[in-house]
Homo-oligomer: A and B are copies of this chain.
Amino acid sequence: MKIARPIQALIDSFQKLPGVGPKSAQRLTYYLLHVPQMQLDEFSDAVSRLKKDTKLCSVCKNVSETDPCPICSDTSRDHSQILVVEEPLDILAFEKTGKYKGIYHVLHGAINPLENIGPDEIYIQALLDRVKNPDREVKEIIIATNPTMEGEATAMYLMRQVRGEGSKVKVTRLGMGIPTGADLEYADEVTLTQALEGRREL
């Protein structure tokens, strides 16, 4: 195989990305050979500055250019409500709905004993500190971790920690049930059970 080293280097870099196999990495690299150097420079710059020009918000741990982040410094939002997510990307999903006016907390992961990720490896203590801080007047924590084993374990752990401290803060979990547009016929038993349990009076 006689691939020029600069080409092989980029193929290797692409292959380290999730969901990019050897074939896609080759295709992307050879595509970039046809692109103007200016676009390559922009791309290269964006990669190298991604982490250099961003930091974690000291309040909510979201990735931001400023500290505190624009959401935490927005006084028009309801600072008594904290929505807890696993990843910064999850915040985008909620912001897109336009319905949530509270603030956030990013755990940067979920408890996963199989991968040696315990409560101390993610930003759980930072959340507990926010809740305990009387200046912040937190009234509700909405746990929006993923409905996976790890997400559920993290939700349970969080709930116990907040309850255990005798805090009067309300702890809620996102509603579970049938997603819009789904076909009941193909819904799994767990989802249907949760939809039944979570039924609401009309």
Query: Are B92 and A9 neighbours in the complex by a CB distance under 8 Å?
Result: no
A10 at the interface (CB under 8 A from B): yes
Q: How far is the CA of A12 from the CA of B10 in the complex (A)?
A: 19
Query: Are B1 and A95 neighbours in the complex by a CB distance under 8 Å?
Result: yes
Interface membership of chain A positions 1-40, coded 1 if the CB is closer than 8 angstroms to chain B and 0 otherwise:
1111111011011001111000010111111110101011
Query: Are A46 and B3 neighbours in the complex by a CB distance under 8 Å?
Result: no
Complex contacts, A71 vs chain B, CB 8 Å: 2
Query: Are A26 and B64 neighbours in the complex by a CB distance under 8 Å?
Result: no
Query: Are A32 and B52 neighbours in the complex by a CB distance under 8 Å?
Result: no
Contacts of A37-51 to chain B: CB distance below 8 A: 37, 39-51
Given contacts A2-B95, A4-B63, A19-B24, contact A40 B47 (CB under 8 A): yes
A200 at the interface (CB under 8 A from B): no
CB distance from A103 to the nearest CB of B (A): 12
CB distance from A1 to the nearest CB of B (A): 6
Contacts of A67-109 to chain B: CB distance below 8 A: 69-71, 87-89, 92, 95-96
Q: How far is the CA of A183 from the CA of B52 in the complex (A)?
A: 53
Query: Are B30 and A52 neighbours in the complex by a CB distance under 8 Å?
Result: no
Nearest B residue (CB) for A71: B2
Residue from B27, B54, B92 within 8 A of A89 (CB atoms): B27
Given contacts A27-B89, A88-B30, contact A6 B54 (CB under 8 A): yes
A53 at the interface (CB under 8 A from B): yes
Given contacts A28-B17, A31-B17, A44-B44, contact A6 B50 (CB under 8 A): yes
Given contacts A13-B42, A49-B9, A51-B40, contact A1 B33 (CB under 8 A): no
Query: Are A43 and B47 neighbours in the complex by a CB distance under 8 Å?
Result: yes
